[in-house]
Amino acid sequence: MAATETGYLLRDCTVVDPLADGPLTDAAVWIEGERIREVGTDPDLVSRARAAGCVEVELAGSYVTPGLINMHTHFSLSLPGELGARVNRMGPHDLALYMADGARRTLHSGVTSVRCVGEKDHADFALRTAVDSGFVPGPRIFTAGRAVTCTGGHGHGSSGALECDGATEFRRGVRSQVKAGADLIKVMISGGISGRHEKIDTRQVTTDELAAVITTAHEWGRKVTAHAGPWPVITEAVELGLDCVEHGYELTRELAGLMAEKGCSYVPTLVVTRCKEFFDELGVPEWMQQRSLAAGERHMQSYEWALEAGVDVLLGSDMPPFWRFEGTSAAVRELEYMATGGLGAREALRSATIGPARWLGVDDDLGSITAGKYADLLVLDEDPLADTAAFRSLSLVLKGGEVVRDDRTRSVASPRPMA
């Protein structure tokens, strides 16, 4: 269903808004241009929308939620293995097209915004421009550009990371990403599951380097998120003002309390330590599979301590959000793990919508079904407040008031024509 000049009226729906106390039944959502004009149950709303010539979409009680926001994405991901090697061999033009295809698939999977946390060759900036210009279908992109890491540090074998040593170089690394157009900064402070010559608990930054990254980024008005595994260096980073922890494979109860106290958010990426099917599909070597899957139990314990402490947890899959995994997309499977791991369905919805929007500083535009915000919306056949698995019943995706996927007509929209 192509975008219209008169807008849409989503009628006879149940609005599930993360800011509301409960669902709004027998409701209507009036979309005008890219934004939501009005939401409610007033019959006059329908009359006004009809008088304006809106295209009516009868939803027969289906559930409308905000689009998902995935806070840990790599469109140029290249893990050790056959597929990763193929991505690493791509030239710049091949890579751009590969990433554009991933962006399109991500949008169609119901993820309408992403936070990229380390992409190759700054291709993410070109992709962001292409999506914003309407040349390429994709989610709204907020990106860190290239992550900063030490020489030989996590991600060093990829052009998605920039090697730095010493406080001065790390400051320069932060500034270089800001210069390129980064919305945030990503720093690798420890080893991880995909580095052949490191361990999850290998510390990879000095105190001076860590302070340089966080201070410089904050001076430039950018938040900092950290690839991080072990609790000692994470504790130090949180005390220095870190804004978000990625993975956090080995948190402690005390560290979780500190994160809650300091307002440091957590993107757990639980799926990456319980995804053998995905690793097999990519041809990931046995050493990495063993390291990843063996960390799963400790990883989940870290997540449970974070919930217990009241840490702000946010959706992030690390795996490509659109990837078909265990009967659904990687983003939805991650959200299911978060919900069943103790978060519950209502808070899981918030962790995938208004929570990320607040962290990104765009909650005036995204994250809830509120008049004036962008019409980034999903339609589900089942109730997401009853079970997060309801996102598997996705049937309609809108971004900026445009229907980009409609399973009822089996249609997928083309990019908007260039102005």
pLDDT in tens, 353-393: 999 999 999 999 999 999 999 999 999 999 999 999 999 99
| Amino acid making up residue 136 | V
Nearest Cα to 104, choosing from 75, 143, 78, 63? 75
Q: What is the pLDDT of residue 4?
A: 57
Q: What is the pLDDT of residue 410?
A: 64
- Tell me if residue 235 falls in helix, strand or coil: helix
Sheet containing 140-143, strands listed edge to edge, beginning at the edge strand earlier in sequence: 68-73, 111-116, 140-143
In this structure, are strands 394-399 and 402-406 parallel, antiparallel, or unpaired? Answer: antiparallel
Q: What are phi and psi of 207, to 5 degrees?
A: -60, -45
> What DSSP line would sit under 7-72, residue for residue?
-EEEEEEEE--TTSSS-EEEEEEEEETTEEEEEES-HHHHHHHHHTTPEEEE-TT-EEEEPEEEEE
Contacts with 130 (C-beta within 8 Å, 6 or more apart), sequence order: 100, 136, 138
How many other β-carbons are positioned within 10 Å of the β-carbon of residue 132? 12
| DSSP, res 327 | T
Q: What is the pLDDT of residue 171?
A: 98
Are 16 and 391 within 8 A, CB to CB? no
Are 221 and 277 within 8 A, CB to CB? no
Are 266 and 312 within 8 A, CB to CB? yes
Q: What are phi and psi of 235, to 5 degrees?
A: -60, -45
Q: Residue 11, CB half-sphere, CA atoms under 13 Å: how many? A: 17
| Cα 74 from chain centre | 10
Q: What is the pLDDT of residue 407?
A: 93
Beta bridge partners of 187: 148, 226
Q: What is the pLDDT of residue 412?
A: 58
Q: What is the pLDDT of residue 245?
A: 98
Beta bridge partners of 403: 398
> What token pair was written down for 104?
């399109």
Report the phi/psi class of residue 87: left, alpha or beta, with left for phi > 0 and alpha for psi in -120 to 50: alpha
> What DSSP line would sit under 258-318, residue for residue?
HHHHHT-EEE--GGGGS-HHHHHHHT--HHHHHHHHHTHHHHHHHHHHHHHHT--B----S
In this structure, are strands 265-267 and 411-412 parallel, antiparallel, or unpaired? Answer: unpaired
Beta bridge partners of 65: 378
From first CA to last CA, the distance across the chain in angstroms is 20
Q: What is the pLDDT of residue 413?
A: 59
- 283-290 long-range contacts (CB < 8 A, ≥24 apart) are 283/81, 283/82, 283/83, 284/79, 284/80, 284/81, 284/84, 285/80, 285/81, 287/196, 288/79, 288/80, 288/81, 288/193, 288/194, 288/196
pLDDT < 70 positions in the chain: 1-5, 195-196, 410-419
| DSSP, res 387 | -
